[in-house]
Amino acid sequence: MHIHIGQNSEEIAQTVAQTLQRLLQQHNESRPFCIALAGGSTPKQLYEVLAQPPIVGDVPWTRVAFFFGDERAVPPEHQDANYHMAQTSLLKHIPSRAYRMAAETGAAEAYAQLLKEHLPHNAQGIPSFDLVLLGMGTDGHTASLFPGTKALDVQDQWVVMNDVPQLETTRMTLTFPVLNASQRIWCLVTGERKRARLQECFHHPDANLPIQRLNPTEGTLTWWLDQAAAPQTLPDSAKVTK
């Protein structure tokens, strides 16, 4: 596991954008580079940096395909839709293909089918993203995998509708088998209000937080934190850069 600590959320957005720019420039396979986007406020800053000069003009966007890690059960133009956020901050500015999750229809199996068609597969036959971007909620959820919800334990489906009683809602989300089949998982976590939960995540393996189930089978896990979110002590096993 790699932990990168930046000064603040702006610096993290810049560093992640530049790292992604290099990755996309190096992608030399004939298939598109497949990215699952996160919702929430933290990645929005990253999307905005990607959509602006100098980066926007320096990435082979037609060779990138965007998917989503989770979605709220609302139409695409709804203010709460992760698609709406990604569309306005990034997607409408670039020529990449983007495949939204139609969570308002409940069609999770159709999205799993889409992943099967468009993504390479790992040795177990599970679709494997080149990159999954994720955030973490203050309760330790990631994507729409919330504490105590059924989707946490799903092993035989890649995409599900997940009832989230604590929010009185239902969301569509990728499940852990497909997240952990990714080549790279990047978790972006910033702000002081996330610090205590990150401390628990790193130092209390039995805390049973959803985000602790991220454990890529063949890929890598990178945490992108700002100083406000970063716990005082970091796991000994982590490679830390600043």
Nearest distance from residue 227's CB to ligand 6PG, in Å?
A: 17
Query: According to CB under 6 A, which residues from 73 to 132 bind ligand 6PG?
Result: 82
CA 222 to chain CA centroid, nearest Å = 11
Among 45, 89, 128, 142, contact with ligand 6PG (rule: CB under 6 A): 142
Nearest distance from residue 64's CB to ligand 6PG, in Å?
A: 19
- Kindly calculate the radius of gyration of the chain based on its CA atoms and give it in whole angstroms: 17
Q: What percent of the chain is helix, strand and coil (3-state, nearest 5)?
A: 35, 25, 40
Query: According to CB under 6 A, which residues from 18 to 77 bind ligand 6PG?
Result: 38-42, 69-70
Size of the site for ligand 6PG (CB under 6 A): 14
Which strand ranges, in their side-by-side order, compose the sheet holding 70-72? 70-72, 169-174, 159-164
Q: Is the peptide bond prior to 165 cis by the omega test (within 30 degrees of 0)? A: no
The label of the residue with tokens 């995540």 reads: 201
Among 6, 32, 127, 135, contact with ligand 6PG (rule: CB under 6 A): 135
Closer to ligand 6PG by CB, 42 or 96: give it. Answer: 42
Closer to ligand 6PG by CB, 60 or 148: give it. Answer: 148
Query: According to CB under 6 A, which residues from 176 to 215 bind ligand 6PG?
Result: none
Per the CB < 8 A criterion, the answer to whether 160 and 108 are in contact is yes
Binding to ligand 6PG by residue 137, rule CB under 6 A?
yes
The four Cα atoms 160, 165, 166, 168 give a dihedral, to 10 degrees, of: 100
Report the interface residues with ligand 6PG, using CB under 6 A.
38-42, 69-70, 82, 135-137, 141-143
